[in-house]
Amino acid sequence: MRRLASAVLFLVAGAAHAQFKEKIDVVRILVDVRVTDYLGHAITGLTPADFDIRIGGKRATIESIEFIEDVSGAAAASAADVGARERAPLHESKGRLFIFFVQTDFARNAIRVQGQMHFLRYAEKLIDGFTDDDRFAVLQFDSHLKLRLDFTSDKEQVNEALRRSLRIDRPEAPPIVPEPSLASRLDKTAMKDAADSESGLVVLANALRSIPGPKTILLLGWGLGELWNGRVYMTRKYEHARQALDAARTSIFAIDVPSVDFHSLEVGLQQAAEDTGGLYVKTFRFPQLAIERVQRTLAGHYELELRRPDELEPGRHRLSVNVKRRNVIILAPTTYVDRH
């Protein structure tokens, strides 16, 4: 009788252990996705049934979906609102975090510098289009990474910091700001040691990781990657930056500023935007259209909570986000690193 009771207790304990283990293994993944038409207007009203999301080729279940209206009136202005269909929960954000990452060419290449100077005339219009609750920081990369302005909602300070980014100098330490603060998180030694933009992005992404919520890097620049034998290759440092940006929930909106119709390293900017769920625009011919496209695309996004697919092996996996609609643009990260 005692043996039977012991066996029953063992089975109950084993079942409880199995249930407890199953709860531990359920992992939720947050993914920020933008779905727009070809002009950048947000497509609202999508439900879990509209998405097909796979991680490493395995279908991921959508546990919840929210459309975050980052700019008031974004949904009303949508050119593809589904109207009568059941809407996803609609929430309005309380201010976004933007980081200007300005590439100032240390060699003073005329095409790059002239393009940067030309775009700064339109940067004020871009900044004016953001809400009063949005906050901005300004970093510059020339010979190494520099912080010109910590997070602030003062748009005139942002414009002045962008104008100063034309200089190759040693900027003064920016004023102390309340949380979140970049200055308190940036590794000063790593900033000085950053020998290229990709290394600078690693430093920035590591600093952003401890700040909750999605962030956006507005990369005003002339290129990423290395040109070799007529082709552009993304470096290992870029791969490190990409993983760090994914972990920090940070996308890159690449604003290509050189005064030329095409240049080789724009391929790297396009790749970075695609990999991180951001957007690439060129400003040489139609800068006003470029900034309007950026503003519309940033007006709202979906926050998807996914259940990690069963039997997903630890490591890096392809993240595929598709929408069962025609003529839409989907901006989402393209990889997920599983550490479980």
DSSP letters, 40-59, are --B-----GGGEEEEETTEE
To the nearest 10°, the Cα dihedral for 142, 146, 148, 153?
Answer: 110
DSSP letters, 57-92, are TEEPEEEEEEEEESSTTTTTT-TT--TTSPPPPEEE
Three-state SS at 319: strand
Question: What is the DSSP pairing of strand 90-92 with strand 280-282?
Answer: unpaired
Number of H helices, E strands in the chain: 8, 17
**pLDDT, tens only, 305-322:** 999 998 888 999 999 999
For the chain, the average pLDDT equals 88
Say which amino acid occupies 327.
N
Class of domain 97-296: alpha beta
pLDDT of residue 312: 87
8 A C-beta contact, residue 54 and residue 307: no
**pLDDT, tens only, 85-136:** 334 455 555 789 999 999 999 999 999 999 999 999 999 999 999 999 999 9
Question: What is the DSSP pairing of strand 51-55 with strand 231-233?
Answer: unpaired
Check whether 11 has a pLDDT greater than 50: no
The reported pTM is 0.87
Angle between helices 155-164 and 110-128 (to 10 degrees): 180
pLDDT of residue 228: 93
Nearest to 331 by CA among 304, 291, 292: 304
What average pLDDT does this structure show over 170-190?
Answer: 95
Nearest to 88 by CA among 55, 50, 126, 57: 50
DSSP tag of 208: H
- The residue extents of the domains of the chain are 27-93+301-338, 97-296
Element (H, E) at 136: strand 135-141
Query: In a 10 Å sphere around its CB, with 0-12 CB exposed, 13-18 middle and 19+ buried, how is residue 90 labelled?
Result: middle
Sign of CA dihedral 204, 35, 213, 310: negative
**pLDDT, tens only, 32-50:** 999 999 999 999 999 999 9
